């Protein structure tokens, strides 16, 4: 077989391979086709970031202006401050929000009754369905100066807490509420992965006298490892992308120094940037490049630890 | 040959009697206006039918909401996909893009001779509207208020308070700034709701803007965030006006003292009204009209056995401590503009202008207020007599859905649609009337200049305006630090943002525009 | 095969600790939704007076009446159902196939295709090029504009592909020896043992499509084609801006002292209940997958 294969000309070999894998290729092609049509073709329009958009001339015939809009972005007064805010807030959210769904999944997995397990799992996903407008309203209502939390503090003779006047406390509130909202939803995947672990492994471990924690450490956790690695990499790659809805609904002028991120800053200060498409595209490209760089770093780190990366 | 001529003659004689199908096709006009939807143009709607017949048109409504209209309109224009008519507030907000629209002729300018459209001509000749000309032509129709008497702006600077509490505590209505502060203090410390807890909030509002706007003119007559021209003909911004620091300092002190609602800078817009209605807040600076939903409905529902006149009072503007004038809010006659797509040909343009002109006329206002003459009402001298069974005004919005969406096609007339001053409560209308009568005679409009609204310069395009953000930080952070140092920080920050270079450049451009 | 004895082990301290933590988290997680529910039928007058409205103090369903009275709500529900069902079906089918295809290490151009899939996760066309492309495809104002562009999700695809990578190759090899082709292997062998993960991703797709309104806002002008979320968003926008909005004033005048907050809450309840009904259907797949021998290690 080997002799025969190497005796064939390379092109023939390639075709043979494609033919062998024809079903596989057919399975992949629809997705690729859709991506080309709906993602890649519009993506070409990112050249707008380097052009002075003229509606009459269209994207392709507009003038080149090089890095003009990037420089405008970097030159905005608070740019570096909001950029670092976004990095800090996203990383802190990652630190708290990444382990939480895993721990939650592990805990739920320990519940023996399937019915209770399912109710817990369902209930934890509820906040995911509510938009930040609603949750922000609830939070503001409860943490307001005359809201429930402060009322209770007063009743306990403690002093009022003004989260909305203090940037650092505000940030902590951001992390915690993000986890509150998405933690349960994010645990679905982990729970699903956990349920594919062969139960006989647990039985065998039980017979060997393993305690609860040993089972988690040697059976459950390794089962989650690869899923967790992938989600970690993907989350790192989204560091500069998210957070707008949460912050725009919760922040105010006083905490702006610490809570402003790139998207909220631009939204607020350059509303006309909404129609300045070159500028908006430049911002998008900038964020994408940083995200990809961070993603590659995370991917490499995960590969070093022996797991599959995303490629 | 003879037969041919005979046939042609016959045709010529018969042509006037031909069925309508051979007449000109109606022109379809697509209109993007806030909150219109296809159900508003129903063939069974008599008002819509009336307009269609009058101008031989059909209307195709394009939906856009208050939340997404900016994005939508800009996208349409940028992708060359705009409706015939679209409305958006570009002037003063987005001059860079508007200039591009004008330079690339993406919108159609109005004809230079507008005499065929008397109502529009009247609007276009208003002083602030005529300033919106670009390159000597009008590229849009600024959307003005139907009622140009100005009551709307005057009533913008109002302030409600709990009359019953003031009486209970034996307080006199304040006549100047110091008295006002004492008044607010007394209400805060006097526990007027009698619940034994010192939790009464002095002042709250829809948002911090309204609240600050009430106190500000008592010290500095130039509203924050506006422009003015100095005696040399150069522009300057409000942050550099004479008494701006003092005004900001006062608000900060009141906030730190607890007279201003601690949550003012971040509560939901409804929260202030709820506090006012539920015995938690004493003073509510806010516009005086269209408040049924915010104030009067709540009060009449919560206290059915008490009279509104006893509970709610209003305060006059606080006189400026330096020149004694009573300043009220002053704005342009227009907000947002109507644009016409460049793709519209001259014939269609004529139809559009006819339609828009009609919808700005008194006749159309009458339709909105009373319905169709002869069908819904009839005039008897100066009186309007409704032809309904009970003689009351019929529910025109239900009868003619077209009016739901298109009553404000050309001009803003929210008041007229429903009832006088847009309120169900005679007391509310009474307040507005009294206030207007007094303030329009004794008051002066706030000092603002619109000379710089249309000016666009490179620095202005790139300028990031943080003035309001920094001001709110100064006033509402609850900081006990040295206010002078913080104010200096604010000034330094604005300077570092390039404020002064920008202002100077605008001044230059303005001089050039004036031909100096 | 060991038979599991159905005995009830006494609950240990560990169990108690876990239950109390989970129970607390349960309350915290359920609270916002509960709050939304009780405010949605709260009497506006009672609501204003309460410092903290945390118990159902009153019942007033005018918000629901107002929303349901609008006849467009029914048609938007149908549109949403169509988009969600059709969209999820196509998405999961294509994603399954592509994820499996990309997990076969020997397949040609694998790295290339994988990169092709990853790039759109980070770089995407901004609004104008996207709009122009949609326009040139003739999708403006068509229902399919809310389905087709949203079929592929690189994120979910990567997750699924990675999951498939963890399935031992021995399974497929034995099937290949029996003469099965790749498609049969995928659907008859791989899928049954991957049900929990596939069910999760189906749920993700379904919820995403149910919640989508942006494409409707930008590309669909005909309100008869609006999905539920867009319709509700439109209504809420009118209500919130009721001082300037004609419809808002109309609604406010008909429903005298309606609290716009209640209306918003009622809208959320109406919009979320249908998708929550999908849960029970998918729940059963979340339980242990079917194991063939002792495959997973």
Residue B232 CB coordination number (10 Å): 7
Question: Is residue B256 over pLDDT 80?
Answer: yes
Contacts of A131 in chain C (CB under 8 A): 268
Query: How close is the nearest chain B Cα to the Cα of A263, in Å?
Result: 14
**Do the bridges between strand B27-34 and strand A51-52 make them parallel or antiparallel, or are there none, so unpaired?**
unpaired
Query: How close is the nearest chain C Cα to the Cα of A99, in Å?
Result: 15
Nearest to A42 among C4, C107, C124 (CB): C124
Residue C245: its pLDDT value, please? 61
Contacts 24+ apart (CB under 8 A), C35-42: C35/A138, C36/A130, C36/A134, C36/C265, C36/C268, C36/C269, C37/C265, C37/C269, C39/C261, C39/C262, C39/C265, C40/C64, C40/C262, C40/C265, C40/C266, C40/C268, C40/C269, C41/C262, C41/C266, C42/C259, C42/C262
Instruction: Confirm or reject contact between A277 and chain C (CB < 8 A).
Output: yes
From the number of C-beta atoms within 10 Å of its C-beta (0-12, 13-18, 19+), residue C76 rates as buried
Q: Mean pLDDT for chain C?
A: 83
Question: Is residue C7 over pLDDT 60?
Answer: no
Minimal CA–CA distance to C213: which of C79, C110, C13, C37?
Answer: C79
- Which chains are adjacent to chain C, needing at least 3 Cβ pairs under 8 Å? A, B
Every domain of chain B with CATH number 3.40.190.10 lies at 22-148+333-418, 154-330+427-451+464-497
Task: Tokens for A89, please give them.
Answer: 């807030």
With CB atoms and an 8 Å threshold, state whether C26 touches A291. no
By C-alpha distance, the chain B residue nearest C132 is: B79
Answer yes or no: are the C-beta atoms of C113 and A279 closer than 8 Å.
no
Minimal CA–CA distance to A261: which of A82, A108, A114?
Answer: A82
Task: Identify the H or E element spanning C23.
Answer: helix C13-40
CATH of the domain spanning C72-286: 1.10.3720.10
CA dist C265 to A266, B477, C42, C236, Å? 30, 31, 10, 10
Answer yes or no: are the C-beta atoms of B222 and B304 closer than 8 Å.
no
Q: Mean pLDDT for chain A?
A: 86
Distance of CA B188 to the CA centre of its chain: 33
Residue B298 CB coordination number (10 Å): 22
Query: How close is the nearest chain C Cα to the Cα of B271, in Å?
Result: 9
Minimal CA–CA distance to A262: which of A14, A80, A66, A116?
Answer: A80
Task: Identify the H or E element spanning C218.
Answer: helix C214-219
**Do the bridges between strand B383-386 and strand B201-203 make them parallel or antiparallel, or are there none, so unpaired?**
unpaired
Instruction: Confirm or reject contact between C69 and chain B (CB < 8 A).
Output: no
DSSP string, B160-219: EEEHHHHHHTTPPPP-SHHHHHHHHHHHHHT-TT-SSS---EEE--SSHHHHHHHHGGGT
With CB atoms and an 8 Å threshold, state whether B404 touches C234. no
Contacts of A274 in chain B (CB under 8 A): 70-71, 74
Contacts of B461 in chain A (CB under 8 A): 272
State in Å, rounded, how far the first CA of chain B is from the last one: 73
With CB atoms and an 8 Å threshold, state whether B68 touches C217. yes
Contacts 24+ apart (CB under 8 A), C219-222: C219/C131, C219/C134, C219/C139, C219/C140, C219/C141, C219/C145, C219/C146, C220/C140, C220/C141, C220/C142, C220/C143, C220/C145, C220/C146, C221/B62, C221/B63, C221/C141, C222/B38, C222/C141
Average pLDDT of span B136-150: 84
C-alpha dihedral sign at A112, A113, A119, A122: positive
Fold exhibited by the domain A76-304: MetI-like fold (1.10.3720)
Task: Tokens for A294, please give them.
Answer: 């961070």
Question: Is residue C205 over pLDDT 50?
Answer: yes
Contacts of A247 in chain B (CB under 8 A): none
Answer yes or no: are the C-beta atoms of A230 and C162 closer than 8 Å.
yes
With CB atoms and an 8 Å threshold, state whether A24 touches C101. yes
Q: What percent of chain B has pLDDT over 70?
A: 95
With CB atoms and an 8 Å threshold, state whether C28 touches A34. no
Residue C291: its pLDDT value, please? 46
Query: How close is the nearest chain C Cα to the Cα of A201, in Å?
Result: 8
Nearest to C247 among B294, B301, B404 (CB): B404
Distance CA C136, CA A58 (A): 14
- Which of A81, A253, A265, A282 to probe by mutation at the B interface, max B CB count within 10 Å? A253
From the number of C-beta atoms within 10 Å of its C-beta (0-12, 13-18, 19+), residue B164 rates as middle
With CB atoms and an 8 Å threshold, state whether A252 touches B266. yes
Residue C295: its pLDDT value, please? 43
Distance of CA B263 to the CA centre of its chain: 26
Answer yes or no: are the C-beta atoms of C39 and C53 closer than 8 Å.
yes
Question: Is residue B147 over pLDDT 80?
Answer: no
Average pLDDT of span B140-165: 82
Most confident stretch, B198-212, B330-344, C78-92: C78-92
Distance CA A197, CA C143 (A): 41
Instruction: Confirm or reject contact between A164 and chain B (CB < 8 A).
Output: yes
Average pLDDT of span A93-115: 90
Instruction: Confirm or reject contact between C127 and chain B (CB < 8 A).
Output: yes
Distance CA A269, CA A290 (A): 22
Residue C168: its pLDDT value, please? 83
Question: Is residue C293 over pLDDT 50?
Answer: no
Query: Please, which residues have CB within 8 angstroms of residue A142's CB and are 6 or more apart in sequence?
Result: A148, A149, C52
Query: How close is the nearest chain C Cα to the Cα of A36, in Å?
Result: 9
Contacts of B497 in chain A (CB under 8 A): 77
Average pLDDT of span A87-96: 94
Domain segments of chain C as ranges = 13-60, 72-286
With CB atoms and an 8 Å threshold, state whether B65 touches C48. no
With CB atoms and an 8 Å threshold, state whether B70 touches A271. yes
Answer yes or no: are the C-beta atoms of B506 and B457 closer than 8 Å.
yes
Residue A24: its pLDDT value, please? 87
From the number of C-beta atoms within 10 Å of its C-beta (0-12, 13-18, 19+), residue B273 rates as buried
With CB atoms and an 8 Å threshold, state whether C125 touches A43. yes
Contacts of C234 in chain B (CB under 8 A): 63, 65
Query: Please, which residues have CB within 8 angstroms of residue B389's CB and are 6 or more apart in sequence?
Result: none
- Which chains are adjacent to chain B, needing at least 3 Cβ pairs under 8 Å? A, C
DSSP H helices, chain A, are 2-7, 10-20, 22-35, 41-44, 58-61, 68-75, 79-97, 99-110, 114-124, 132-143, 148-155, 167-194, 199-207, 212-215, 221-236, 244-250, 256-259, 262-269, 277-304
pLDDT in tens, A133-176: 888 888 888 888 777 788 788 888 877 777 788 888 899 999 99
Instruction: Confirm or reject contact between A269 and chain C (CB < 8 A).
Output: no
With CB atoms and an 8 Å threshold, state whether B466 touches A269. yes
Query: Please, which residues have CB within 8 angstroms of residue C214's CB and are 6 or more apart in sequence?
Result: none
From the number of C-beta atoms within 10 Å of its C-beta (0-12, 13-18, 19+), residue C290 rates as exposed
From the number of C-beta atoms within 10 Å of its C-beta (0-12, 13-18, 19+), residue A119 rates as middle
By C-alpha distance, the chain C residue nearest B278 is: C49
Distance of CA B111 to the CA centre of its chain: 27
Average pLDDT of span B150-171: 85
Question: Is residue B492 over pLDDT 90?
Answer: yes
Task: Tokens for B232, please give them.
Answer: 């040399």
With CB atoms and an 8 Å threshold, state whether C44 touches B301. yes
ipTM of the complex: 0.87
Bridge partners of B57?
Answer: B27
Bridge partners of C248?
Answer: none
Question: Is residue C4 over pLDDT 50?
Answer: no
From the number of C-beta atoms within 10 Å of its C-beta (0-12, 13-18, 19+), residue B112 rates as exposed
Phi, psi of B338 (to 5 degrees): -105, 125
Average pLDDT of span A60-78: 89
Answer yes or no: are the C-beta atoms of C97 and C246 closer than 8 Å.
no
Q: How confident is the model at residue C249 (pLDDT cuts 50, 70, 90)?
A: low
Residue reference for tokens 């319709």: C231
Residue C250: its pLDDT value, please? 62
Question: Is residue B163 over pLDDT 90?
Answer: yes
Answer yes or no: are the C-beta atoms of B79 and B408 closer than 8 Å.
no
Question: Is residue B61 over pLDDT 50?
Answer: yes
Task: Tokens for C218, please give them.
Answer: 């930008």
pLDDT in tens, A205-234: 888 888 888 888 888 888 888 889 989 999
Average pLDDT of span A54-81: 89
- Which chains are adjacent to chain A, needing at least 3 Cβ pairs under 8 Å? B, C
Question: Is residue B419 over pLDDT 60?
Answer: no
Residue B18: its pLDDT value, please? 58
Residue B353: its pLDDT value, please? 96
Bridge partners of B283?
Answer: B161, B203
Instruction: Confirm or reject contact between C215 and chain B (CB < 8 A).
Output: no
Q: Mean pLDDT for chain B?
A: 87
Residue C290: its pLDDT value, please? 43
By C-alpha distance, the chain A residue nearest C208 is: A129
Minimal CA–CA distance to B511: which of B323, B271, B246, B229?
Answer: B229
Task: Tokens for A212, please give them.
Answer: 């609860």
Residues of B with CB under 8 A from a CB of C: 34-35, 37-39, 62-63, 65-68, 71-72, 75, 78-79, 81, 270, 274, 277-278, 290, 292-294, 297-298, 301-302, 397, 404-405, 407-408, 414, 417-418, 422, 424
Every domain of chain A with CATH number 1.10.3720.10 lies at 76-304
pLDDT in tens, C27-48: 999 998 898 999 888 887 788 7
- Any idea which of A175-189, B169-183, B250-264, C53-67 has the lowest mean pLDDT? C53-67
What's the DSSP call for residue A65? Answer: -
Nearest to C32 among A114, A127, A151 (CB): A127
pLDDT in tens, B166-205: 999 999 999 999 999 999 999 999 888 877 777 888 999 9
CATH of B22-148+333-418, picked from 3.40.190.10, 1.20.1050.10, 3.40.50.620, 3.40.50.261, is: 3.40.190.10
Residue C62: its pLDDT value, please? 83
More confident residue, C155 or B9: C155
Residue C181 CB coordination number (10 Å): 12
Residues, chain A, total?
311
Residues, chain B, total?
516
CATH of the domain spanning B154-330+427-451+464-497: 3.40.190.10
By C-alpha distance, the chain A residue nearest C155 is: A234
Question: Is residue B106 over pLDDT 50?
Answer: yes
Query: Please, which residues have CB within 8 angstroms of residue B3's CB and are 6 or more apart in sequence?
Result: none
Residue B30: its pLDDT value, please? 95
Residue C92: its pLDDT value, please? 96
DSSP H helices, B306-465, are 308-311, 346-358, 362-370, 396-399, 401-406, 414-418, 426-442, 458-462
Residue A84: its pLDDT value, please? 93
């Amino acid at each position: 077989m080997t002799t025969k294969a190497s005796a064939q000309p390379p092109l023939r070999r390639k075709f043979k391979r494609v033919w062998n894998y024809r079903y596989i290729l057919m399975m992949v092609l629809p997705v690729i086709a859709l991506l080309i049509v709906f993602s890649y073709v519009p993506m070409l329009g990112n050249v707008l970031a380097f052009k002075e958009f003229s509606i009459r001339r269209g994207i392709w015939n507009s003038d080149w202006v090089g890095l003009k809009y990037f420089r405008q972005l970097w030159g905005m007064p608070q740019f570096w401050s909001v950029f670092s805010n976004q990095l800090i807030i996203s990383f802190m959210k990652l630190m708290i929000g990444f382990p939480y769904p895993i721990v939650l999944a592990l805990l739920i997995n320990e519940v023996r009754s399937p019915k209770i397990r399912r109710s817990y799992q369902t209930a934890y996903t509820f906040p995911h369905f509510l938009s930040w407008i609603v949750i922000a309203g609830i939070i503001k209502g409860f943490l307001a100066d005359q809201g429930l939390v402060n009322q209770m503090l007063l009743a306990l003779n403690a002093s009022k807490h003004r989260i909305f006047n203090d940037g650092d406390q505000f940030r902590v509130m951001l992390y915690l509420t993000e986890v509150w909202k998405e933690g349960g939803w994010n645990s679905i995947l982990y729970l699903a992965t956990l349920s594919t672990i062969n139960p006989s492994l647990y039985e065998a471990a039980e017979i060997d006298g393993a305690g609860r924690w040993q089972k988690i450490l040697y059976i459950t956790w390794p089962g989650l490892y690869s899923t967790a690695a992938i989600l970690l990499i993907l989350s790192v790659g989204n560091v500069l992308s998210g957070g707008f809805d949460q912050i725009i609904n919760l922040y105010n002028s006083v905490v702006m120094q610490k809570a402003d991120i790139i998207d909220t800053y631009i939204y607020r200060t350059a509303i006309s940037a909404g129609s300045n498409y070159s500028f908006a595209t430049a911002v998008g490209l900038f964020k994408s490049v940083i995200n990809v760089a961070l993603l590659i770093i995370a991917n490499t780190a995960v590969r070093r630890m022996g797991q599959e990366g995303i490629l | 040959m003879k037969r041919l001529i005979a046939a042609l003659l016959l045709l010529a004689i018969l042509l006037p009697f031909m069925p309508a199908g051979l007449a000109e096709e109606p022109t379809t006009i697509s209109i993007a206006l806030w909150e219109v939807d296809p159900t508003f143009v129903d063939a069974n709607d008599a008002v819509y039918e009336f307009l269609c017949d009058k101008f031989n048109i059909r209307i195709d409504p394009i939906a856009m909401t208050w939340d997404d209209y900016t994005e939508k309109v800009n996208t349409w224009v940028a992708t060359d996909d705009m409706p015939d008519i679209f409305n958006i507030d570009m002037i003063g907000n987005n001059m860079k893009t508007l200039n591009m629209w004008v330079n690339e002729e993406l919108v159609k300018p109005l004809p230079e001779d507008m005499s065929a459209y008397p109502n529009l001509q009247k609007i276009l000749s208003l002083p602030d509207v005529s300033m919106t000309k670009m390159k000597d032509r009008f590229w849009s129709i600024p959307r003005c208020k139907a009622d140009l008497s100005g009551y709307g702006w005057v009533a913008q600077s109002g302030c409600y308070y709990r009359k019953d509490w003031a009486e209970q505590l034996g307080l006199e209505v304040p006549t100047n700034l110091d008295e006002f502060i004492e008044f607010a203090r007394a209400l805060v410390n006097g526990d007027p709701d009698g619940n034994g807890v010192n939790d009464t909030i002095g002042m709250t509002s829809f948002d911090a803007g309204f609240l600050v706007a009430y106190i500000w003119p008592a010290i500095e007559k130039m509203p924050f965030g506006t422009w003015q021209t100095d005696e040399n003909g150069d522009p300057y911004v409000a942050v550099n006006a004479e008494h701006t620091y003092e005004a900001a300092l006062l608000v900060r002190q009141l906030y730190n003292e607890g007279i201003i609602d601690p949550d003012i800078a971040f509560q939901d817009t409804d929260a202030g009204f709820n506090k006012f209605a539920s015995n938690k807040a004493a003073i509510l600076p806010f516009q005086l009209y269209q408040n049924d939903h915010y104030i009067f409905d709540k009060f009449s529902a919560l206290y059915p056995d008490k009279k509104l006149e006893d509970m709610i009072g209003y305060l006059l503007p606080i006189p400026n401590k330096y020149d004694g004038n009573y300043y009220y809010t002053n704005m342009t006659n227009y907000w947002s503009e109507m644009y016409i797509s460049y793709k519209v040909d001259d014939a269609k343009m004529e139809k559009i202008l006819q339609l828009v002109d009609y919808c700005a006329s008194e006749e159309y206002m009458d339709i909105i207020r009373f319905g169709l003459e002869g069908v819904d009402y009839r005039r008897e001298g100066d009186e309007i007599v409704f032809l309904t069974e009970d003689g009351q005004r019929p529910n025109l919005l239900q009868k003619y859905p077209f009016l739901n969406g298109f009553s404000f096609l050309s001009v803003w007339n929210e008041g007229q649609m429903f009832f006088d001053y847009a309120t169900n409560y005679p007391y509310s209308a009474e307040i507005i009337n009294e206030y207007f009568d007094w303030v329009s005679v004794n008051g002066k409009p706030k000092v603002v200049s619109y000379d710089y609204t249309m000016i666009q310069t490179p620095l202005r395009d790139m300028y990031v305006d943080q003035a309001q953000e920094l001001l709110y930080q100064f006033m509402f952070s609850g900081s006990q630090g040295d206010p002078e140092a913080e104010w200096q920080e604010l000034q330094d920050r604005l300077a570092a943002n390039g404020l002064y270079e920008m202002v100077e450049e605008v001044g230059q451009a303005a001089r050039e525009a004036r031909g100096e | 095969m060991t038979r599991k004895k159905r005995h009830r082990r006494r609950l240990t301290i560990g169990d108690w600790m876990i239950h109390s933590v989970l129970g607390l988290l349960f309350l915290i997680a359920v609270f916002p939704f509960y709050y939304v529910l009780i405010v949605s039928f709260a009497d506006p007058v009672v609501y204003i007076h309460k410092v903290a409205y945390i118990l159902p103090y009153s019942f007033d369903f005018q918000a629901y009446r107002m929303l349901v009275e609008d006849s467009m709500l029914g048609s938007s529900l149908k549109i949403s159902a169509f988009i969600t069902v059709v969209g999820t079906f196509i998405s999961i089918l294509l994603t399954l196939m592509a994820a499996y295809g990309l997990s076969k290490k020997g397949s040609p151009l694998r790295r290339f295709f994988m990169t092709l899939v990853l790039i759109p996760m980070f770089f995407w066309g901004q609004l104008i090029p996207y709009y122009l492309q949609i326009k040139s495809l003739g999708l403006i104002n068509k229902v399919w504009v809310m389905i087709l562009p949203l079929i592929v999700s690189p994120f979910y695809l990567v997750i699924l592909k990675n999951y498939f990578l963890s399935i031992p190759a021995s399974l497929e090899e034995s099937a290949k020896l029996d003469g099965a082709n790749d498609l049969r292997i995928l659907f008859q062998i791989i899928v049954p043992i991957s049900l929990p993960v596939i069910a999760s991703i189906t749920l993700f797709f379904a919820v995403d499509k149910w919640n989508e309104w942006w494409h409707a806002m930008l590309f669909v002008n005909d309100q008869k084609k609006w999905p539920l979320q867009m319709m509700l968003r439109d209504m809420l926008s009118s209500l919130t801006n009721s001082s300037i909005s004609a419809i808002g004033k109309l609604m406010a005048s008909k429903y005298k002292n309606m609290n716009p907050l209640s209306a918003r809450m009622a809208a959320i309840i109406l919009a979320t209940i249908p998708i929550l009904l999908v849960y029970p259907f998918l729940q059963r797949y979340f339980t242990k997958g079917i194991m063939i021998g002792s495959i997973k290690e």
